[in-house]
Chain A
């Protein structure tokens, strides 16, 4: 109780915390709660996490409403740097996407590890498929997977292809409600509390690789950002933090695989 009084009485009680604009999967999976306290204890730097979709995180960072960015859309991150908003992009860690769905598996995709074949089968069966539809990292990755199938799912939007325009968790909840297939990152799925009878139906295609990157906000674009402390966090994530990321497990399963250079 007592330790909450300072921020209840005066709003800016922390000594200049840094704001981390982040994708939701890293937050929802509990990763930050597991690794950031060690960083704060070591450096004295408080980290405030704003977890939104990758698209929104990039937009917030473009508006300078953050000091560091952790998202998962490498192309968009590189464009962000090329456009002068960011600097020092580095690979941080990876995990993979999986497709989950109802045990009845109407498009019969269970056990395959060819994601394009599975998507084609879903389209052919006109089985319901939930898409994030929110320009997030997961949404972008999903659209990349459709491209080689020569199926434009947008044409079927509202029939069997359903776009929620919402976060991963909300989309998983909706998919449960509609018995629809849905692509999700593995971390969010493992930690998801409303799995019901849904099963992991497809995994293991190299195309399902999901790279997370860390990007610093450019000092030229955002001179007011807390860049020194952000750089400290970046360095920690790419060094000591790598071990902490690897050590984070849910139900005995490692969620993120560090792969900084």
Chain B
């Protein structure tokens, strides 16, 4: 119990101190995960919607693939990207290993399948409801995608929040491709892993509490930025 008490005490002491090291780590975490989320949404929303409204050979196989990819272990994604970005790998010229960019790419790979699969499910549900109307209006496929995506707005916001959660919480992939380099690629989760390996369990837990607080604020901000969703969320 003492550890939990120490952890909360340390968490608030750290927040109160405004430690520049901690602020740097928090800002890097936010930058990496939010960038990954935005890019994953840009890729995932249209693909998910297209998979819902179109019908072509191999569609079910693709859906199955993205569903399965939701369970990708972060460590496998990290290892694969390491082998690609390593100086001995095919993409060495990009010089991405041990950079925040590599961490963003890793998180995009991890969360895009989630965005695609959840979006497809949402849009498929809406299509069952409004498909007749849209077809009666002779909407083209791109028009259908746009209309349905707009209609699905609140659910897609939840989808984005799920993706952000996975990105924020992930440690295996960013540890390998980022290298947990102090002041360069050290984020909240890799700091927690480092403190754990130092046996500083209260400190590790304190960082975990701060991560949770940041996740709360980020989620609140996401909902606040989209006020329309509040009323629609009850539908």
Residues of chain A having any CB pair with chain B under 8 Å: 1, 3-4, 7-8, 11-12, 14, 17, 19, 24, 28, 33, 48-51, 60, 62-65, 167-170, 172-173, 191-195, 222, 224-225
Which residues of chain B from 88 to 118 have a CB within 8 Å of any chain A CB? Answer: 88-89, 92, 95, 97-101
In the complex, are the beta carbons of B101 and A8 less than 8 A apart? no
In the complex, are the beta carbons of A168 and B88 less than 8 A apart? no
In the complex, are the beta carbons of B199 and A49 less than 8 A apart? no
CB contacts (< 8 Å) of B134 on chain A: these are none
The segment out of B21-29, B159-167, B214-222 that lies at the interface is B21-29
Q: In the complex the two chains form, what is the Cα distance from A14 to B101 in whole Å?
A: 15
In the complex, are the beta carbons of A65 and B87 less than 8 A apart? yes
Q: In the complex the two chains form, what is the Cα distance from A108 to B20 in whole Å?
A: 48
Q: In the complex the two chains form, what is the Cα distance from A12 to B27 in whole Å?
A: 16
In the complex, are the beta carbons of B201 and A193 less than 8 A apart? yes
What are 27 A-B residue pairs whose CB atoms fall within 8 Å in the complex?
A1-B20, A3-B20, A4-B27, A8-B27, A12-B99, A17-B184, A19-B179, A49-B182, A51-B180, A60-B86, A63-B86, A63-B89, A64-B88, A65-B86, A65-B87, A65-B88, A167-B197, A168-B197, A169-B199, A173-B201, A191-B198, A192-B199, A193-B198, A193-B202, A193-B203, A194-B201, A222-B87
Q: Mark B177-192, 1 if CB is under 8 A from A, else 0.
A: 0011111100000000
Q: In the complex the two chains form, what is the Cα distance from A50 to B200 in whole Å?
A: 20
CB contacts (< 8 Å) of B184 on chain A: these are 7, 14, 17, 48
Check if B9 is an interface residue, CB within 8 A of chain A. Answer: no
Minimum C-beta distance from B78 to chain A (A): 12
Minimum C-beta distance from A84 to chain B (A): 14
In the complex, are the beta carbons of B197 and A169 less than 8 A apart? yes
Q: Which of A50, A65, A225 has the most CB of B within 10 A?
A: A65
* Shortest Cβ distance from B199 into A: residue: A194
Of A17, A24, A225, the residue contacting B197 (CB under 8 A) is A24
CB contacts (< 8 Å) of A8 on chain B: these are 24, 27-28, 31
CB contacts (< 8 Å) of A50 on chain B: these are 98, 179-181
* Shortest Cβ distance from B197 into A: residue: A169
Contacts A4-B23, A11-B100, A50-B181 given; does A173 touch B199 at CB 8 Å: yes
* Shortest Cβ distance from A62 into B: residue: B88
Check if B147 is an interface residue, CB within 8 A of chain A. Answer: no
* Shortest Cβ distance from B83 into A: residue: A63
In the complex, are the beta carbons of A28 and B99 less than 8 A apart? no
Q: In the complex the two chains form, what is the Cα distance from A170 to B171 in whole Å?
A: 15
Of B89, B180, B196, the residue contacting A173 (CB under 8 A) is B196
In the complex, are the beta carbons of A224 and B87 less than 8 A apart? yes
Of B28, B97, B196, B199, the residue contacting A65 (CB under 8 A) is B97
Q: In the complex the two chains form, what is the Cα distance from A97 to B27 in whole Å?
A: 39
Q: Mark B27-39, 1 if CB is under 8 A from A, else 0.
A: 1100100000000
Minimum C-beta distance from B96 to chain A (A): 9
CB contacts (< 8 Å) of A33 on chain B: these are 182
Q: Which of B180, B184, B200 has the most CB of A within 10 A?
A: B184
Of A1, A19, A62, A192, the residue contacting B198 (CB under 8 A) is A192
CB contacts (< 8 Å) of A1 on chain B: these are 20, 23
Minimum C-beta distance from A52 to chain B (A): 8
Minimum C-beta distance from A171 to chain B (A): 9
Q: In the complex the two chains form, what is the Cα distance from A191 to B24 in whole Å?
A: 25
Q: In the complex the two chains form, what is the Cα distance from A225 to B23 in whole Å?
A: 32
CB contacts (< 8 Å) of A4 on chain B: these are 20, 23-24, 27, 183
**Leading 4 A-B pairs by shortest Cβ distance:** A169-B197, A194-B199, A64-B87, A63-B88
Minimum C-beta distance from B7 to chain A (A): 12
CB contacts (< 8 Å) of A195 on chain B: these are 199
Contacts A50-B180, A63-B86 given; does A169 touch B20 at CB 8 Å: no
Q: In the complex the two chains form, what is the Cα distance from A222 to B86 in whole Å?
A: 12
Q: In the complex the two chains form, what is the Cα distance from A49 to B100 in whole Å?
A: 15
